Structures are given as C-alpha cells and as structure tokens.
Amino acid sequence: MISVDTAIKIVADTVEPLPSRTVPFENTLGFCLAQDVQSDIDMPPFDRSAMDGYAIVAEDTTAAPLELAVIEDIAAGHMPTKKVLHGQASKIMTGAAVPEGADAVVKFEETEDISNNRVKILKSVRKGSNISRRGEDMQAGQTVLHKGMPIRPQEIGILAMVGKSRVEVFSAPTVGIISTGDELVDVGCKPSTAQIRNSNGYSLSAQARRLKAEVEILGIVKDTKEEISDIMRRGLQKDILILSGGVSMGEYDLVGDVMKDFNTKIYFEKVALRPGKPVIFGRKDKTFIFALPGNPVASFVTFELFIYPAIRKMMGFSDIHRTMLKASLETEILVKRKRREYRPASLRMHNNACLVSPVEWHGSADLLATTRANCLLIVREDAEKLALGQLVDVIPLD
C-alpha cells in the first residue's frame, strides 16, 4: 500500500500532455495555450490621448489661463491631419492619435469653449500629460502570451487584440465512465430494497466536465467478468477510462482481475487513504484507467486527488493539482486511524485568515455531507489530535 503523495506523484509523472490542436480563439476559454503568442501591433498604436480634451503644446500652458486657436477636431478612428503649433490646439477624443507638435492633452474639465474655434485653457499641464506613449502596453513582435498559460477572459481579449483568430491549445481528454455493481439501477428506476441508484456515474461525469473533458457515460454493468470486459473494450477508445465499484477485496470485486486479463500495466492498486483505499491506476495502450471505490464520497474524493491532476496534465497545464491552503481549525478533531484522511469541510474567510470546520459526515457512503462542504480537510498520517486553532491543509472545491 502506497501513500497518497506517492500515488499522486505516480499519476503526475506517468500522464503526458495530449497533442495540441488549432481552434478559433473564441472557443479556447478554460483551455491551456500550446504556443507562445506574439503581438503584431504596438499598443497603443500611436501616441494616444487618454482623455477627451485638447492636444496642445505644454509649454504654452505655463501662462494659463490663456486662449488657443482650435485648428482641428480629431475623433477616435481618424488620424490628425494638422500639426499643432504654439498658440494652437486640436480637439481630441479619448483613444485618438495625438497630432504632431502637441505634447500634452488638457482634459475638457480644465477648459472652457470660447467659440467654435477658440478655447480657454484654465490650468497648466506638464509635457506628456494624458498621453499614452506608442508601444507602452505592448510592442509588435513581443511575446504577450506564453505556452502553458490558462486562457481566461482577459487572455481571450489579448488574442483578439493581436489578431490571433486561430490559436493552438492542448486538447482536453475524452473520458469514459463505467459504474459496476449488481446493486445499481439507473436514475429513472425505483430501486428495490437491495438496490441503489447509480450516482457515481453522474457525479464523476460532472467533475470531469467541469474540467472541460469530453465525457461519455458508458453505463452500468453487473459484477461479472464478461460484462466488465465487454464494456471495458469500448472504454479503451477513450484517453481516460474511469470505473467505479468492484475494487475492494470482496469476491465480486472483479475490476482489477479484468484489468489484468487485458494486460493493463498496473501502477498501483491500493492507497493509504480514507475514504478510498482501493484505487487502481493503470494503462492499457493509450488509455489511462482509474478504477475507483464504489462508495460515492470515496469516488468523489479519489477523482479530485488522482484524476484531476491527470486531466490537467493532459490539457497542458503546468499547475496540475488542486490548490492547497492552510486554514485554522474552528473545532478540535480526534483522529481514529493512522491513515491519511480527506474530510468534507466548510471553509470561510475571517479578515485575511482562512478558517475551516468539518461538516457532519457519516462516512464514505454519505454523499449528502459533501453538499454542505466547500473543501476537503486533510488529516495527515501522523496526526493524533488536531487542536482548535491549529493550521491544517485544505483543498477548496468550488
């Protein structure tokens, strides 16, 4: 049995980024850039007015208040045609190019219109005032976005700005999900006393879709080698195949056996973890297979610990793990077993500190507890009692 940290490291070291593909830039939100992106323009493209006002020669305004002759009216999107000389001003809009000769802009609020072609400047301004210099924000040829960056709305804006209408991103994996267990029925059925509905298939699907993976729920199979083999063959077309259930040491736990029958390379089969000890990670040809425990909270937690980094690494991100924070415990915790535990918990901020308390939780079947949680609280292997106010590691989930 290996530690959680070792198991996570094995996953992170084994999985590789998927090939990249070139797609319309508007469709890349949430993906990871697979190329550096250069600007093809200077921004601002010219010395630009940062205000609505008058472009003038700063030196003239030392004598303010004074009147200047208005020689032109420059709108955004149009280039100035006249050079501003001493004693002159050009009316200018925010974003328009500052005309030759002018070296500052006085904003409207500090002027008074005298007539159509005369303006009174009320205050003196310094050279360069209210002008953004050409190339100040970005320059033609400059690398503005880097391979490995996550694409958020602001990166979409930059791609638009530099004309990168098609861009190379890493692909998201295809994921197949199989739920195993004689006791499972689908959501539309009313379970008999011995049955429960398949919830893992859907929660795992949502966890993977949240990361942008392309998910197919392959369905429910009975605990027979034949049924598991048949569906696993279909699942091997995916980049990632997730099974839940059938991995304990019971006699009906056949998923591991079937994986071995398929000559799957097995990296680990058990992790010192609660909930979720029996977790199998293997590879068959190009497909990474994760066989998770059937209990809903165990399936939920093991996805976040092991499959989350696998998907993120496949998608090209450098930052592949869920963020871990330190939070101060709002209640003491007694530790029963010397095994790494992940408990559903509630994280909140008070001033600039994170505070955490576990939510009521009856164990690995109690998925309802996780609806009251927004993080997982980590109890380390060497912990005996966690005291009020002690700093613990938490993984925010939302």
Residue 355: count other Cβ atoms within 10 Å of its Cβ: 16
Amino acid letter at 53?
G
Q: Burial of 388 by CB count in 10 Å (0-12 exposed, 13-18 middle, 19+ buried)? A: exposed
- In the complex with a copy of itself, the residue whose CB is nearer, 91 or 340, is 91
Which listed residue (58, 254, 369, 376) binds a copy of itself by CB under 8 A?
369
**Cα 340 to Cα 41, 138, 361, 367, 382, distances in angstroms:** 53, 48, 16, 19, 8
- How far is residue 355's CA from residue 375's CA, in Å, rounded to a whole number? 11
Nearest CB to a copy of itself, comparing residues 141 and 191: 191
Q: Which of 63, 116, 251, 385 binds a copy of itself (CB under 8 A)?
A: 251
Binding mask 373-392 toward a copy of itself (x if CB under 8 A, else -) reads x-----------------x-
Window 10-39: residues binding a copy of itself (CB under 8 A) = 25-26, 29
Helix (H) or strand (E) holding 174: strand 174-180
The residue (of 72 and 73) whose beta carbon lies closer to a copy of itself is 73
DSSP lists the bridge partners of residue 31 as none
Alpha-carbon distance of 46 to 126, in angstroms, equals 19
Build a one-symbol-per-residue string for 308-327: x at contacts with a copy of itself by CB under 8 A, - elsewhere: ---------------x-xxx
Amino acid at position 361, single letter: W
One-letter identity of residue 130: N
Give 49's strand partners.
131
Taking CB under 8 A as the rule, does residue 111 contact a copy of itself? no
Window 197-216: residues binding a copy of itself (CB under 8 A): 197-207, 209-210
Of residues 263-292, which lie at the interface with a copy of itself (CB under 8 A)? Answer: none
3 part of the interface to a copy of itself, by CB under 8 A: no
Using CB under 8 A, which of 103, 223, 269, 341 touches a copy of itself?
A: 223
- CB nearer a copy of itself, residue 26 or residue 285: 26
Residue 217 or 236 having the CB closest to a copy of itself: 217
Residues 326 to 355 in contact with a copy of itself, rule: CB under 8 A: 326-328, 349, 351-354
122-159 as b/e: b if 16+ CB within 10 A: eebbeeebbbbebbeebeeebebbebbbbbeeebbebb
Cβ proximity of 254 and 228 under 8 Å:
yes
- What proportions of the chain, in percent to the nearest 5, are helix, strand and coil? 20, 35, 45
Instruction: Pick from 11, 18, 32, 43 the residue near a copy of itself by CB under 8 A.
Output: 43
Q: In this structure, what DSSP letter does residue 133 have?
A: P
Nearer to a copy of itself, 88 or 295 (CB): 295
Sign of the Cα pseudo-torsion (324, 326, 332, 335, in order): positive
203/302 with CB nearer a copy of itself:
203
Number of residues that bind a copy of itself (CB under 8 A): 105
Single out the segment in contact with a copy of itself by CB under 8 A; choices: 7-15, 87-95, 224-232, 309-317: 87-95
Query: Per CB under 8 A, which region of 11-19, 69-77, 231-239, 262-270 contacts a copy of itself?
Result: 69-77
30-31-33 Cα angle (round to 5): 130
Q: Considering beta carbons, is residue 12 or 368 the nearer one to a copy of itself?
A: 368
Q: What is the spatial distance between Cα 371 and Cα 96, in angstroms, rounded to a whole number?
A: 53
Which of 19, 63, 77, 384 is close enough to bind a copy of itself by CB under 8 A?
77
Whole-angstrom distance, CA of residue 333 vs CA of residue 360: 12
Binding region for a copy of itself (CB under 8 A) out of 93-101, 228-236, 309-317, 335-343: 93-101
Q: Does 370 bind a copy of itself (CB under 8 A)?
A: yes
Which two tokens mark 89? 């001003």
191 contacts a copy of itself (rule: CB under 8 A):
yes
- Count of CB atoms situated within 10 Å of the CB of 121: 22
How far is Cα 280 from Cα 82, in angstroms, rounded to an integer?
74
Does 194 bind a copy of itself (CB under 8 A)? Our answer is yes
20 vs 39 by CB, closer to a copy of itself:
39
Stretch 128-187 residues interacting with a copy of itself (CB under 8 A): 132, 136-138, 144-145, 149-150, 152-165, 181-184, 187
Shortest distance in whole angstroms from residue 52 CB to a copy of itself: 4
